[in-house]
Structure 1
Amino acid sequence: MTPSSLGDEIRVDVEPAFREDESAPEEERFVFSYTITVHNHSGHSMQLLARHWKITQGSGKVQEVRGKGVVGQQPMIGPGQTFRYTSRAILDGPVGVMEGDFTCVDTATQRPFEVAIAPFRLAGPNQVH
């Protein structure tokens, strides 16, 4: 799928956070939440159809996650609107990096496009950010 100009008008902000209350370092379980905000700065409505994540752990282990929508939804996002959700990632160490993309469709033209999500760092306490 080739990116369209509509994809350039969609911005994705990410706010990662370490979840100490859900983590168990002695069991190599480090839980991170990440809040994603999708901003539609275009003049068209769009629908988020699918997600693809690449999670690289500090150990070098890479996991890829693909699926329909996000948090059980395939949200419609109108011109000038935002959609926000929070999800989680579980790592076996205190640091990692996530990056990925959303597959979306311009609802007016039914043309699919990709929205890239820049790499963001997941870091537990006492880790260099």
Structure 2
Amino acid sequence: MYTATTHAIKVSVQPQYMPDQSDPAKSQYVWAYQVRIENQGAEAVQLRSRSWRITDGLGQTREVKGPGVVGKTPLLQPGEVFEYTSGTPLSTSSGIMGGSYQMVSASGEKFDIEIPTFSLDTPSAGRRLN
């Protein structure tokens, strides 16, 4: 599990290699990742958008930006948690992902929170943070 806390918002990520959706012979590797966002602050916050940097084992990076996560812009009251699962394909057997969520507080303050950088490694590649 990878964890980061920014502005009293804790983000935890658990990646998992998906061998049933991958085809190494065709250089297709797929990971799912479960994200948990916990509002540990005293004010409600809403997730407005996301920004991901995904880097494969060859150092090729792509950015993914857009509104919300999995079609939602969750509002988290103090103490509330939002969880979702998503996934990403790579053309190599390892890589890394990380980024940020853009949030807005109930008082109107806009700020970014860190999505911890996490490693994507097939079981045969061993676990390493690229």
TM range (shorter): over 0.9
Q: What is aligned with 1:126?
A: 124
The 8 Å contact of residues 7 and 113 in structure 1, kept in 2 or not, is answered as: no
TM-score scaled by length of structure 2:
0.91
Task: Say whether the 8 Å CA contact 2:100–2:114 is kept in structure 1.
Answer: yes
Partner Cα distance (1:118, 1:83) in 2: 16
1:26 aligned counterpart, secondary structure = helix
State the partner residue of 2:112: 114
| Sequence identity (%) | 34
Q: Which aligned runs of 4 or more in structure 1 are off by greater than 4 angstroms?
A: none
C-alpha separation in 1, matches of 2:36 and 2:116 = 13
CA distance in 2, matches of 1:7, 1:124: 29
Aligned match of 2:24? 25
The residue that corresponds to 1:79 in the other structure is 78
Is the Cα contact below 8 Å between 1:94 and 1:124 reproduced in 2? yes
Aligned pair count?
123
Two-structure CA RMSD over aligned residues (Å): 1.2
In the alignment, structure 2 segments of 5+ residues that lack a partner are: none
In 2, the alpha carbon distance for the partners of 1:84 and 1:118 equals 15
Q: Does 1:56 align with 2:55?
A: yes
Unaligned runs of 5+ in 1: 1-5
The normalised TM-score by structure 1 is 0.92
